[in-house]
Each structure stands twice: as structure tokens, then as C-alpha cells.
Amino acid sequence: MKRRQFLERARLAAGSFFMPRLAFAEAEPDRKPNIVTILVDDLGYGDLSCYGATDLKTPHIDALAASGMQFSRFYANCPVCSPTRASLLTGRYPDSVGVPGVIRTHPQNSFGYLSANATLVPTVLKRAGYHTAIVGKWHLGLESPNTPTERGFDHFHGFLGDMMDDYYNHRRHGINYMRLGNKEIDPEGHATDLFTQWAGDYIRSRSGAAQPFYLYLAYNAPHTPIQPPAEWLDRVKAREPGMDDKRAKLVALIEHLDDGVGKVVASLKESGAYDNTLVVFVSDNGGQLDIGASNGDLRGAKCDMYEGGIRVPMCAGWPGRIAPGSHSDCVALTMDLFPTVCEGAGAEFSHEVDGRSFLPTLLGNVQPPEERLLFWMRRDGGPHAGRAYYAVRHGDWKLLQDGPDQPLQLFHLKSDPREERPVKDKPKVFALLRAALQNHVIQAGAAPWQKESVTLPPIEWGDAPD
């Protein structure tokens, strides 16, 4: 779809929900924007200064938010990592594309396998003339055919796996998952610095190219292990002498990440690409409280179906298109980025997606509010024994299960934003949401999340009693 067409469609939509249409003139309507999506790992809703943190400084992410639109009700598709990434790249619910849980090295602890039928955003954008790249953490497959260049990206410089056991040696379970394309590499340096440098290298390599680019930059930070460079930790401790060591380390890791984001934006400006680039910044799930994270006033944390596990910081800037200093309380999910990015790029697709574009909201145009049924789920091992748990939302009503052994509880988010008072006198609402959830579980169950050839090791009983 040409940009002139989708802007006109947005202008004709009824029911504006946030701000008046921008007064920007539509310059060069056929010039496609570059797109940079920055995904960070386990950054809590309350761990940016633009989201209310007072004990850390994130000037570069704050500047990105101030340059465009900041969202107050943006959600990850899952309270853990791989599923959210699957949704970002496919526009689908993660369990609908075979990724209900975290993809890991060992098959007995891996709960996802990206469906061969899933179409990823680089495939769609390449058809629209884009060069596509991923820098950083992939986490959607460790081997062929589920590697980035086999799933649509032209360029990959990063890490195939999940978390790193060390930010400096970049191993997971002793395995080196660092790659340039399909070639194993063993670079030196802190992973955040490496990903920042590689993103800048890619941006500079596209300088002067007629072809627009899509860069998906996925940092490991601030996921555990909490390993900030020493000088960044020293700086935080000098500034905040009363801060406990656990919090100080996380703050330093976040501030170091913020510096990297600033360098990436600087690369866009230096290369001349910035004025025609849509930049999106978002976290993959909520913060992990036991390592010092903050999710603001929200209940819960990473792995939880409460708001603290799934509501995340998100902002987007696009010079001349998104009004500086704008805010939105639009409810949107990671899967919505797929159609939003494609519409912004004028890239058409005909296959089914679960997300909906919020580009009109970004551009300040009218967009009808849509009280969709929204679903979250997670499947994992350990204490969950491979079982799944869920949440479903419609409007301000949210039905959640915060673990497979926990009961379903109904909350009304507008009157109870901290989800502290389960509603017990609305059986019809409860039943309707539960029925909707059941339908979703049945539909998503058609997508296998295991590799068919997996052989699990036998259980070691040891000295178990009779």
C-alpha cells in the first residue's frame, strides 16, 4: 500500500483516541523509511527515567521518547523471552507459531520450535525493497533451518542463543553461539558494546544506498547475569552512595545500555539516515525483581501474568511524522509491531496476523479504539513441569492464572490497576473470558512446539524412595 493511501485511510477512520492529526506536510510520499526496532531484555516498566525512575539516568532513551511518542499501556506478548520475539517478528500469538515458551539448548528444557509456516517481517519487507538485518540476540532457533538468514534476514551479526552466562566470553552452557552470518565468531568485549558497534557498522554500511533498510537490534541487557562494566558501576556508586549493591549493578547495566542506544541513534544521524528512520524501542517482558529491577507501581514481575510481567516501556520516534513529546494510552502488544512496521514501509502481505497496526496513532491521526480479546500464555519446565498458564483481556476486564497450579482470577484494571482485589460477583464476565481463552488454546494447539525428532534422556531416579 502506498503511503498516501494508508494516510488517507487513517484520516478517514472514525473515533480518534488521543491527539489531533499532525500538521506535518507529506514530503516525498514514495520515499520508504528506514526502520530500526530496538528490543531490550527484561527491562522493567519502572526502570527508565522517562517512566518515573529517580535513581537511574537514561538520557538517550528519554531523548528518543521525547522525540516522538511514549506509550503507557504497551504489552509484551509473553512474560518471558522467546515467545515475545516470535510475536514481534511474525505478528502472531507466539503459541500460534510454535513458541509458547523459551527455546533453550537442551531439548528437555526447551519449549518452542518456530513454525516453518510462519512468515517473518524481513520476508515481507524484502518484497517491498528493503535490505534486512538482525544484530544481537536471536533466541528463536539454534540450528538450521531456524537461523536468522534462513528465516529472511539478509544480514546477521549476533548471538543465536538465549541468555549469556557471561557478557564477556559470550558462552551459554560452554557453547559459543556468536555468529556473523552462519560463521562462528569469537569477539572480545562486553556484549552490549559489541551489539552497539555492530549496529553502527551496519547503519554506516547502508549510508548512501538507495535501498531502505530494516534493522532489528536485540540487546541481551539488562538480562542476568548482571555484569556492568566496572567504570559504569563505579559511576553509579559515586552518584548514589546509599544504593544497595544489587540495585547499583542493575542500574549500571541499564545506564550502559542507554549509552549504547544513544550511539546507535548517533550513527543514524552521522550517516544521514536519521531524518527518514522510524525508531522503535521496547522491552521483551517485565523486570526481574529479585535482581533489583523495578516495574513501577505494577504488581508482579518477569514470568508473571500480572501487569508487572507483561506491561513494558515502549516509545517510537520518526522525524516529521510522529509529533515530539506525544503520549498514548493505546493498548497495544508486541505482535502489533509487525503490521505497524509493514504499513509504515508500504509493504503488503495477505497472510493472517493477530496483530493490528497502530500506525495511525503514531502519526497522530484518528484511529478507532478496538476492545480486542487479547491473550497471553507461557509454557515452561522446572516447577511448571511443562504445563502452560494464561491471561485473557477484554477492555478493562482481565482473567489471569499466575501459574499452572493457580486458579483463574478476574480483575478490573481500571478500578484495580494493581490487581489486588479479585472480582467474584461477575460470573458472566468470568465465563465469557474463560470460554474465549479455551477457544484460543484449542486454535493455538494446532501449532506444534516440539521438534518431531527430539529424543529425551531417561529420568535418573537415583536413590528415590519406594
Mean pLDDT of the chain: 93
What three-state secondary structure class fits 234? helix
Tell me, yes or no, whether 247 and 166 share the same domain.
yes
| Buried residues in 385-396 as b, exposed as e (16+ CB within 10 A) | eeebbbbbbeee
Judged against a pLDDT cut of 60, whether residue 324 lies above it is answered with yes
Tell me, what CATH number does 393's domain have?
Answer: 3.30.1120.10
d(CA 124, CA 131): 11
Q: Tell me, what's the pLDDT at 455?
A: 80
Point out which residues pair with 180 in neighbouring strands.
Answer: 157, 183
Tell me, yes or no, whether 418 and 351 share the same domain.
no
317: phi then psi, degrees, rounded to nearest 5: -125, 145
**From the CA atom positions of the chain, what is the Rg in Å?**
21
Residues contacting 174, CB < 8 A, separation 6+: none
d(CA 345, CA 296): 34
Per-residue confidence band for 463, with pLDDT thresholds at 50, 70 and 90: confident
What three-state secondary structure class fits 367? coil
Tell me, yes or no, whether 172 and 70 share the same domain.
yes
- Does residue 465 lie within any of the structural domains? no
- Does residue 127 lie within any of the structural domains? yes
- Residue 139 annotated in active site: yes
Tell me, yes or no, whether 403 and 293 share the same domain.
no
For the chain, the domain total comes to 2
pLDDT, tens only, 129-170: 999 999 999 999 999 999 999 999 999 999 999 999 999 999
191-205 and 245-271 helices, crossing angle to 10°: 10
pLDDT, tens only, 342-374: 999 999 999 999 999 999 999 999 888 878 999
- Domain residues for 408? 373-444
End residue of a domain, out of 312, 328, 362: 362
pLDDT, tens only, 379-410: 999 999 999 999 999 999 999 999 999 999 99
Tell me, yes or no, whether 358 and 384 share the same domain.
no
- Does residue 462 lie within any of the structural domains? no
What three-state secondary structure class fits 75? strand
Judged against a pLDDT cut of 80, whether residue 313 lies above it is answered with yes
Tell me, yes or no, whether 436 and 328 share the same domain.
no
Residue pair 150/160 in contact (Cβ under 8 Å)? The answer is no
| Residue 279: all three cell numbers together | 525508531
Q: Which of 60, 78, 131, 139 is catalytic?
A: 139
H helix runs in 222-301, sequence order? 230-239, 245-271
Q: Which of 78, 81, 315, 342 is catalytic?
A: 81
What three-state secondary structure class fits 158? strand
- Residue 78 annotated in active site: no
- Does residue 155 lie within any of the structural domains? yes
- Helix then strand count (H, E) for the chain reads 11, 17
Tell me, yes or no, whether 283 and 404 share the same domain.
no
Tell me, yes or no, whether 280 and 429 share the same domain.
no
Percent of the chain, pLDDT > 70?
93
Residues contacting 252, CB < 8 A, separation 6+: 228, 229, 232, 233, 235, 236
What three-state secondary structure class fits 317? strand
| Buried residues in 335-354 as b, exposed as e (16+ CB within 10 A) | bbbbbbbbbbbbbebeeebb
